[in-house]
Amino acid sequence: MIFSKRLAFLLVLALLTPGIHGAQAETVSWQDRDLGKSQAFSMASSMSDEELLGQVFMIGFKGPGADSTILRWIREKHIGGVKIFGWNGEDLKVLAGAAGTMQQTAAESGQGIPLFIATDQEGGWVRHVKGETSITPGNMGIAAGGLPYDAYRTGKLIGAELRALGINMNFAPTVDVYVNPEAHVIGPRSFSSNPSTVAVMAQAYYHGMRSEGIISTAKHFPGHGNADEDSHGFLPIINDDIETLMERDLLPYRMLIPEGLPAIMTGHLAFPALTGDATPASLSKKLIHDLLRLRLGFNGLVITDDLRMSGAQQGGESIPQAAEAALRAGNDMIMISLDSRLHQRVWDHLHRVLETDPDFREILRNAVTRILTIKEEYLNRPWSVPLEPDPTILDKAIPADTEYLFQQACRAITAVADKSLPLDPSAKILLAGQLGGFFREGKRRFPASDSFDFAYTPFYSAPPGAVEGIISRAGRYEYLVFLLATPGSAEVLSEVVRKAPELKPRIVIISVLTPVYLFSMDWVDTALAAYGTGDESFAAAFAALAGEFIPRGKLPVSKASFGE
């Protein structure tokens, strides 16, 4: 049985609980005992150095199944969590089986403490678990529709799919306030450039996920929305002062924390006006302990973004050194994607510190107390995510509700400019873009249309041949319906109109992801913003283009919000 060792573990815990020292121990089990904070502290205090250290690790594995390496780390190191990345998430039945195997291994090892099994399933653009999972219109699409109910329903829908897979923790909602047009890595992952909108939608999204037993993790503290670089490759420097952050970037956290938000992810972002140097927020005691813990009053779980990201190492620290700094700064868990050799190097470094520094053991004991408190709150309830998911239900549970997603996508569609709306379904149209759903839905609504497909990469610049290919074809059509999705596609379109300005009156734009690229195209007279890249979002966009409904979505961002 998966709970067999938990029973023995909790019997030991009962003997450690104040008030029952020499008395008859109460018979308890993991699944039916309330493990309050004081008992979590007692449990953490009773752990060996290795058990404490294991609980603060959240690591990835090569997958797709649970390989011998990750099972050995669970069995021998008693790690606290496993992160599911995109390379693990293509085959859903294999993934569900892996989740069950990993939880079974945890239950039969050490004190039988269940794992956090986490992923990034934000909705929209970021979707690490793929396969047949839903592609929602995304956060910005939710805000364009204007209904907090859509945020709640999206959180619940994503949560239901994760629940069926045995994934109990989601690194969402993204609560970054999108105020810098150069924040490409955030873009449509944000709800809006309005802090109040972000806060309200994030609250609803969180409650939707909680209704399915999912541990929500708001990110990227203290805010990635004014960064002009990607922390995967650089350390963004954000020169905002504390007054600005409190009223803008931190407003969503200030509203979520009193609602019981269980976890927050720290970002690899520097705020020199707050810290006096370029220490990443993820490694900064001033930002985590002083600001997040003391000033904002957050007592839940704090976890780093992946420490393999370049933004965590810009001070010259090795990853093992960054892991130590992260824990000393106030993070409770360190996330390290791959690989097992790096995991071991980090383990060895932290174990040496633990052996020689009593203060570091105290830091880990407090961290593990918070980890165990969240695990008990979410993983030991009648409504908890099953520790052994049933792969046979996946075909019914995933995707969750495509009809609802289409309705939500229709609410999101925004007419940025509408001179040529609607288009005649029999019109001679050239579809030019990058994504399969765009062409499928375009051909379905406009059967006489032709297609010109150009590469999605490079992301930031025009792919070779795209500009010339469009110009050589577009003159033969009444309309050029262009998919605007990335900085690269924006460059393609700008070059097309620079080299062939006579095409401007024929161009109709469907914008997905962030609509900010439209702000530099004052000449555009027909454009729809759809935000999402799933089939439902493209179906809604082309339905609006064909005049099947009047789009009533509102842009969640504006030139004014970017200081333009």
Give catalytic residues, as residue numbers.
Answer: 232, 305
The DSSP annotation for 520-535 comes to G-TT--EEEEEE--SH
Q: Give, in order, the Cα–Cα distances in Å from 158 to each of 60, 88, 167, 397, 559.
A: 21, 17, 11, 11, 31
Residues 6+ apart with CB under 8 A from 485: 433, 434, 435, 456, 511, 512, 513, 533
Distance of alpha carbon 346 from alpha carbon 358, whole angstroms: 19
Name the residue with tokens 């990635």.
224
Q: Quick check: 151 and 208 in contact, CB under 8 A?
A: yes
Kindly give the interhelix angle for 148-165 and 195-210, rounded to the nearest 10 degrees.
40
Residues 6+ apart with CB under 8 A from 75: 105, 108, 109
Extract the runs of DSSP E, i.e. beta strands, from 45-113: 57-59, 81-84
The DSSP annotation for 360-414 comes to HHHHHHHHHHHHHHHHHHHHSSTTSPPSS--GGGHHHHSS--HHHHHHHHHHH-E
Q: Give, in order, the Cα–Cα distances in Å from 48 to each of 33, 111, 506, 544.
A: 23, 11, 70, 62
Among 492, 529, 488, residue whose Cα is nearest residue 508: 529
Q: Given strand 169-170, what is the order of strands in its sheet?
A: 301-304, 263-266, 215-221, 169-170, 116-119, 81-84, 57-59, 334-336
Name the residue with tokens 């792969």.
391
Q: Quick check: 407 and 413 in contact, CB under 8 A?
A: no
- Categorise residue 386: left if φ over 0, alpha if ψ from -120 to 50, beta otherwise: beta
Kindly give the interhelix angle for 92-107 and 4-16, rounded to the nearest 10 degrees.
40
Tokens of 158: 């994503």
Please, where are the H alpha helices in 398-548? 402-412, 436-445, 466-474, 487-499, 535-545
Kindly give the interhelix angle for 535-545 and 402-412, rounded to the nearest 10 degrees.
50
Tokens of 20: 């029952």
Q: Which backbone phi and psi does 224 adopt, to 5 degrees?
A: -105, 0
Q: Which backbone phi and psi does 127 adopt, to 5 degrees?
A: -155, 85
Distance of alpha carbon 1 from alpha carbon 94, whole angstroms: 21
Residues 6+ apart with CB under 8 A from 539: 406, 409, 441, 444
Distance of alpha carbon 104 from alpha carbon 63, whole angstroms: 17
Residues 6+ apart with CB under 8 A from 546: 422, 423, 425, 445, 446
